[in-house]
Structure 1
Amino acid sequence: MTDTQDNQAQNQAPQRTPLYQSHVDSDGKLVDFSGWELPIHYGSQIEEHEAVRTDAGMFDVSHMVVADIKGSDAKAWLQKLLANDVEKLKTVGKALYSGMLNEQGGVIDDLIVYLMNEEATEYRIVSNAATRDKDMAQFHKVAESFDIAITERPELAMIAVQGPNAVEKLAQAKPSWADTLAGLKPFVGADLTDIEGTDWFVARTGYTGEDGVEVIMHGDDAPTFFEQLKANGIRPAGLGARDTLRMEAGMNLYGHDMDDSISPYECNMGWTLALKDERDFVGRAAMVSKRKQSKDDNTAMKQVGLLLTTRGVLREGMTVTINQGTDNEQTGIITSGTFSPSLKNSIAIARIPASVSDDDNVQVDLRGKGKFVDVRVLKLPFVRNGKQQFDS
């Protein structure tokens, strides 16, 4: 979230999702997040984190923005708008993760787009709440030369049900969904209208590094669904656990690990770039040019994980120093940091020079007093599907 958005959010009363009363009734500690009143935890962030890693938890993600796109030019518009290519979406319900870039090749937002019909004239985009205004501005700016209609869906709610037992417990809560859930592959969504009624949609996606789904429904249906999930052993979890889970999974948080000034190559999103053909998406030329220039002048940056094996906590904004005190000294920055409940050590996501190798000495000054501690540089993620992803 930018400073401007932060100020705007502070000047307005935070919005409430359809699950506000459910959070209050579940003893949720509510905080302002991107202008929304959401639970940071329901008593124990650590226990909520562990529930998702080992069993099943759920998050209210109704603050996220859902936009439905319709029109004969919908596909062409998305191919201009996004750095990844919706041509990859061959079956209805299939999802694509992509960055949306500005003309300078920086990341305006990261989002998910679903193909909603066989004719490729209907799509659904799910994007971040903190970037809503600039996302919508970009959607409409690029849409000026395309025949499409963009419909935001603020009446919808969304609950993420995540964890190794999430799908099984969801099927217990909703037996009529069992066949649909059993056939739902990762990064695929399914319309539940025939089973549940209008606006119900489920996708095998998430932001935790665990199996699970995200369920969209009309806001009026959300509180009852929340209670059904709770009754079947799916634990409510707050923003705190969501943050530690996504960090362990090496997933970016917009405004922290990437923003308008950061290239996809600098935030581990290079894999999302569809560059094999000549498709002229917004920001492509600038991004490719800057990438070449940074390689030529040795200023390229990369995203890595950092592990601290001594006491202390790595925090966003701390400087990462490589080969401190030598002629080859370089610096990077921590973009997200926390204590990892799964690893019992502090971890961070950092942006450091791409030239850093295993032979380099990497340190962080934890207290800003010149007392450097060694950190281990790792390839992300730290944890996936409940398992540590690196050698101890």
Structure 2
Amino acid sequence: MKPPLARTPLYDLSVELNARMVPFSGWEMAVQYTGITPEHEAVRSHLGMFDISHMGKFALKGQQLVAALQPLVPSDLSRLEPGQAQYTVLLNASGGILDDFIFYYQGIDRATGNQRGMAIVNAATKSRDKAWIVAHLEGTGVDLDDLSRTKALIAVQGPEAEAVLQPLVEADLSAVGNFGHAETTVLGKPAFIARTGYTGEDGFEVMVDPPTGVDLWRHLLEAGVTPCGLGARDTLRLEAAMALYGQDIDTHTTPLEAGLRWLVHLDDKGDFIGRSVLEQQKAKGVSRRLVGLEMQGRHIARHGYSVKADGEIVGEVTSGTMSPTLKKAIALAYVPAELAKVGRELEVQIRKKTYPAKVVKRPFYRSPHR
């Protein structure tokens, strides 16, 4: 018997708004409120908010926190200053991606001398991530406090994010740069706020205690902010060519295959899990790459559809949608490296027919507001 679906602290607010609720990674989440397209357009042109309280939230501390985390990721975390963050991945010994996450470095606590940081991980992999991190940090003196069920997390995304949030926040948000973060107050209550997100737009992610999360949601709703669900979150992130764990990246893909070379710092750090595999791939080149596809018509390439070249199956679509912003069908797919050149013409099999597609630059959409 499956355990009952978990509910976020903001669940009742979504029900009040007649959101369509669906199962997602063990949680009962809103997939849409008024509709995917209007929610998507609100984020691109004005402002939207998402309940992302289902995400895993780990508070980390220890005298040598950064040094202890270095062997777990391919990114050089030592370059982070307090108030900065790094998007990175956990790798297995084969270089496969166990999860992608953001590490926020909070600096040294003067009272204890501990380095402090926050890791926000995917809901579906939270338990596995926690076990993996705890096992590999054993004996390092680093503590992990799992805040996943005790904190609300709201993403406020769109060009008006700073202007609308600022009256509710003590810190000067203009001083928080892209991938910056701060500990401050929201509505007079303690809060962790970061200028990160999963939409390709400017915006913030706000972590607070559940009662404050409820109050913040209501304040934003009264200010005219559009509630958005998982549906718009997916179309927004795909336009920005941001990977979805479990579809575009997983334990069988490496960051070099997935176009995440920029977070692999082979020249700047020592050994880490999966390093030898990535070194080999860098030296020899990868055999396949994740590419952006633009369909040459209105047919939509969906997850799992075959990609063909010269009549032969050469790859598979990992994500696809009709872009609300571009009014074009777009997709991500893995294809052989020799077919990954921009402009290369391919085909996608949709049911029993094939339709033309072209490899294009990623991201598909770049915000003019950032």
Q: Normalising TM by the smaller chain, what interval?
A: over 0.9
User: Residue 41 of structure 1 aligns with which residue?
Assistant: 32
> Could you tell me how far 1:142 is from its partner in structure 2?
0.9
1:149 aligns with 2:143: yes
> Could you tell me how far 1:195 is from its partner in structure 2?
7.4
Question: Which whole-Å CA distance do the structure 1 matches of 2:342 and 2:76 have between them?
Answer: 34
The 1:120/1:89 distance shift into structure 2, 3 A limit, reads farther
The correspondence for 2:13, drawn from 19, 22, 30, is 22
Question: Which whole-Å CA distance do the structure 2 matches of 1:314 and 1:341 have between them?
Answer: 15
1:331 aligns with 2:314: yes
The correspondence for 2:246, drawn from 255, 275, 297, is 255
SS of the aligned residue for 1:355 comes to helix
Question: Which whole-Å CA distance do the structure 1 matches of 2:161 and 2:107 have between them?
Answer: 28
The correspondence for 2:92, drawn from 102, 126, 136, is 102
The 1:318/1:330 distance shift into structure 2, 3 A limit, reads closer
In the TM superposition, 1:45-64 aligns within 5 A as 45-64=36-55
The C-alpha deviation readout for 1:233-288, integer Å capped at 9, x for no partner, is 11100000000000000000000000011100111111101111351111111232
SS of the aligned residue for 1:135 comes to helix
> Could you tell me how far 1:290 is from its partner in structure 2?
4.5
User: Residue 304 of structure 1 aligns with which residue?
Assistant: 291
Aligned residues: 363
User: 2:37 is aligned with what amino acid?
Assistant: I
The correspondence for 2:123, drawn from 121, 126, 129, is 129
1:348 aligns with 2:343: no
Question: Which whole-Å CA distance do the structure 2 matches of 1:311 and 1:304 have between them?
Answer: 19
The correspondence for 1:161, drawn from 156, 159, 177, is 156
1:81 aligns with 2:64: no
The C-alpha deviation readout for 1:128-183, integer Å capped at 9, x for no partner, is 000012101210121124111111112011000001112212224x1x54x52121
User: Residue 189 of structure 1 aligns with which residue?
Assistant: 181
> Could you tell me how far 1:184 is from its partner in structure 2?
1.1
User: 1:105 is aligned with what amino acid?
Assistant: G
> Could you tell me how far 1:220 is from its partner in structure 2?
2.1
User: Residue 383 of structure 1 aligns with which residue?
Assistant: 365
Question: Which whole-Å CA distance do the structure 2 matches of 1:102 and 1:197 have between them?
Answer: 39
The C-alpha deviation readout for 1:359-380, integer Å capped at 9, x for no partner, is 643111222x1x3211121121
More displaced stretch, 78-87 vs 185-194? 185-194
The 1:28/1:359 distance shift into structure 2, 3 A limit, reads closer
* Contact 2:166–2:172 (CA under 8 A) maintained in structure 1: no
> Could you tell me how far 1:57 is from its partner in structure 2?
0.1
> Could you tell me how far 1:113 is from its partner in structure 2?
0.6
> Could you tell me how far 1:88 is from its partner in structure 2?
1.5
1:245 aligns with 2:239: no
* Contact 1:29–1:43 (CA under 8 A) maintained in structure 2: no
More displaced stretch, 207-216 vs 109-118? 109-118
The C-alpha deviation readout for 1:307-349, integer Å capped at 9, x for no partner, is 1131211100111112x14xxx561111001111111121101
More displaced stretch, 20-29 vs 302-311? 302-311
TM-score calculated relative to the size of structure 1: 0.88
Structure 1, unaligned stretches of length 5 or more? 1-9, 388-392
User: 2:154 is aligned with what amino acid?
Assistant: I
More displaced stretch, 65-74 vs 114-123? 114-123
TM-score calculated relative to the size of structure 2: 0.93
> Could you tell me how far 1:291 is from its partner in structure 2?
4.8
User: Residue 318 of structure 1 aligns with which residue?
Assistant: 305
SS of the aligned residue for 2:31 comes to strand
Question: Which whole-Å CA distance do the structure 2 matches of 1:99 and 1:19 have between them?
Answer: 28
> Could you tell me how far 1:302 is from its partner in structure 2?
1.1
Structure 1 residue ranges (4+ consecutive) displaced by more than 6 angstroms after TM superposition: none
The 1:117/1:193 distance shift into structure 2, 3 A limit, reads farther
In the TM superposition, 1:261-272 aligns within 5 A as 261-272=252-263
Cα RMSD, aligned residues only = 1.8
Structure 2, unaligned stretches of length 5 or more? none
1:372 aligns with 2:354: yes
* Contact 2:290–2:335 (CA under 8 A) maintained in structure 1: yes
Question: Which whole-Å CA distance do the structure 1 matches of 2:287 and 2:28 have between them?
Answer: 39
